């Protein structure tokens, strides 16, 4: 073999290696671009997911308000906590209760349901993580919640509570 042929073959091999290196560089650039686009789409997805979760939490809160309203509709006009307590005692003591005791037992069940939905609403409010700080929604919720507690103590009639809760539920705060 001649030195010129060896040099020529070596030059061809080097050129071919350079071509492969060029195409590898192009493929790496395309891969990096695809990865960057993937990161952008992932970021946008997480951002939209966060908005969806906020809306879901707000919807749960609004649903809990409607649950309180629904329970309040079946409650007596003015609640008597003492009678509900008697109903709990009558439930524990015997099945031979008077009609008054059976009514008190029903009142006791209604009280338990009201406490349950109020507790759920308060939990949903906490899950809202201060979305409504300083807003009209916050003021209306605190006022309505306090009215429910006043109703339980017998200080307020149910229509006042229902009107306040309806006023809060009519606010467009989920998507607004």
CB 60 within 8 A of CB 124: yes
131 Cβ contact list (under 8 Å, min separation 6): 54, 57, 58
pTM of this prediction?
0.73
CB 110 within 8 A of CB 151: no
Per-residue pLDDT, 46: 87
CA angle 161, 64, 151 (to 5 degrees): 25
Longest pairwise C-alpha distance within the chain: 121
Per-residue pLDDT, 107: 83
- Name residue, tokens 């607004």: 176
* Residue pLDDT tens, the chain, 176 long: 687 777 878 888 888 988 899 999 999 999 999 999 999 999 998 888 888 898 999 999 999 999 999 999 999 999 988 888 877 777 666 665 565 566 778 888 899 999 999 999 999 999 988 889 999 999 999 999 999 999 999 999 999 999 999 999 999 988 86
Per-residue pLDDT, 97: 57
Per-residue pLDDT, 48: 85
CB 156 within 8 A of CB 150: yes
């Amino acid at each position: 073999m001649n030195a010129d042929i060896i040099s020529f073959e070596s030059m061809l091999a080097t050129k071919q290696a350079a071509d492969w290196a060029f195409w590898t560089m192009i493929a790496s650039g395309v891969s990096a671009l695809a990865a960057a686009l993937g990161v952008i789409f992932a970021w946008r997805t997480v951002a939209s997911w966060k908005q969806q979760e906020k809306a879901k939490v707000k919807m749960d809160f609004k649903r809990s308000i409607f649950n309180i309203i629904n329970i309040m509709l079946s409650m007596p006009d003015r609640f008597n906590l003492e009678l509900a307590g008697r109903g709990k005692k009558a439930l524990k003591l015997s099945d031979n209760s008077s009609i008054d005791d059976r009514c008190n037992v029903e009142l006791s069940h209604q009280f338990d349901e009201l406490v349950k939905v109020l507790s759920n609403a308060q939990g949903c409010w906490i899950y809202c993580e201060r979305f409504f700080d300083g807003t009209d929604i916050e003021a209306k919720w605190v006022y309505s919640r306090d009215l429910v507690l006043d109703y339980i103590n017998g200080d307020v009639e149910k229509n006042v509570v229902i009107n306040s809760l309806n006023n809060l539920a009519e606010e467009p705060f989920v998507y607004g």
